[in-house]
Structure 1
Amino acid sequence: MRYSTKLIGTAIILATATACGSQQPMATAPAAGGDSAAPSGSVSTSPGSPTPTPGPGKPQFQVPPGSDPVPAGKLDAAALPKQFPREVYTANGGTILVVRAEEGGCQHALGEAVEQTPQHVVVNLSETKAETGKMCTMDLRHPVISVALAAPLGERTVVLKKSPPR
């Protein structure tokens, strides 16, 4: 009896370890507008890509290495709520903005360059709508998201705006 209990226990442990150890990481598809050649919109690149921007899948909370902060004098965040983060960086030679956004629960941060002129770039920040009937946590996160520009930012001002979830 004692021998069979040990044998069954060992079999369960081996089955569990084998099942857990054989899981392969799931490949993620690029996000909509994920082509870095796109003139506007949100962009994410896959891990291992030479562009230092956050990849799809899990939210990124660290600013990519080599990103340069946009000077406070070149940032207009007056349209954002008071508690909203006000961090913007450039990457990839200034053609990508890395913006600290806000999201919570089941929602995910979105960013899109909705206007690009020689004087300024307007970035609209939003969130995805939460699924109805799904329980969500009440946490608040501040991930970084990437927004592609048609041309390097240069001396243009970045204007941040917030819109309702979509």
Structure 2
Amino acid sequence: MRYSAKVVGTGALLLMVTACAGQDMPTSQPAGSTGSVSVPAPASPSPSPSESVLPAPAEPNPPGKPRLTVPEGSTPVPAGKIDATALPAGFPREVWTANGGTVLNIRAQEGGCGHALGEAAEQAGDRVVVNLSETKAQTNQMCTMDIRYPVISVTLAAPLDQRTVVLKTTPAR
């Protein structure tokens, strides 16, 4: 009996929600009105031929600020020049260079309330070691359980050239 009452109640609720979805119902009607009130939609200005309807080009990715896409003009680092053996299984292993090789754009991993971070820990003649980490969530804060793969930028003192990029993870900060 309890089960059928729940099913009927849920069905009635869904029926009401779907019946009202998408309708713009006025909260009051003018006195003497018996029909529905029709309000004309505001005219949307159409762009003139000189205006562009395309989004503005993306700005270069400033170091330390994650983004979802790889900045335009970035060049992929060959897989043979990436040492990702220290990364956990399933962690992205994608690196690009930009700005003449002085900026590394790295696909990182973050989740919930955390944000991906990266820093060049070592810049030797044959390799560049990048430590990837994630900020900790604040205490008593509700966070989603999603995983995101932003692109973070790390600035190098000199162009990458033929050096190997070594990716490592460090504890959350």
TM-score normalised according to structure 1 size = 0.68
Structure 2 CA distance for aligned equivalents of residues 163 and 120 of structure 1: 18
Structure 2 CA distance for aligned equivalents of residues 104 and 60 of structure 1: 14
| Partner of residue 110 from structure 1, selected from 113, 117, 120 | 117
Structure 1 CA distance for aligned equivalents of residues 85 and 70 of structure 2: 23
| Partner of residue 3 from structure 1, selected from 9, 21, 30 | 30
Structure 2 CA distance for aligned equivalents of residues 131 and 119 of structure 1: 38
Letter paired with 1:105: G
Letter paired with 1:115: E
- Check conservation: 1:67, 1:89, Cα contact below 8 A: yes
Letter paired with 1:71: P
Structure 2 CA distance for aligned equivalents of residues 126 and 105 of structure 1: 14
- Point out 4+ residue stretches in structure 1 off by more than 6 angstroms: none
SS of the residue 1:3 aligns to: coil
Structure 2 gaps, min length 5: 1-27, 34-56
- Check conservation: 2:105, 2:151, Cα contact below 8 A: yes
Alignment of 1:13-162 (within 5 A): 52-53=60-61, 59-162=66-169
SS of the residue 2:100 aligns to: helix
TM-score normalised according to structure 2 size = 0.66
Letter paired with 1:98: N
Q: CA deviation at 1:3?
A: 2.5
Aligned sequence identity (%): 66
Structure 1 CA distance for aligned equivalents of residues 100 and 139 of structure 2: 41
Structure 1 CA distance for aligned equivalents of residues 73 and 58 of structure 2: 15
Structure 2 CA distance for aligned equivalents of residues 132 and 152 of structure 1: 40
1:62-97: CA deviation from partner (whole Å, max 9, x where unpaired): 111110000111100000001100000000110000
- Check conservation: 2:61, 2:71, Cα contact below 8 A: yes
Distance 1:108 1:76, change over 3 A: same
Partner of 2:24: none
Larger radius of gyration: 2
Q: CA deviation at 1:55?
A: 7.6
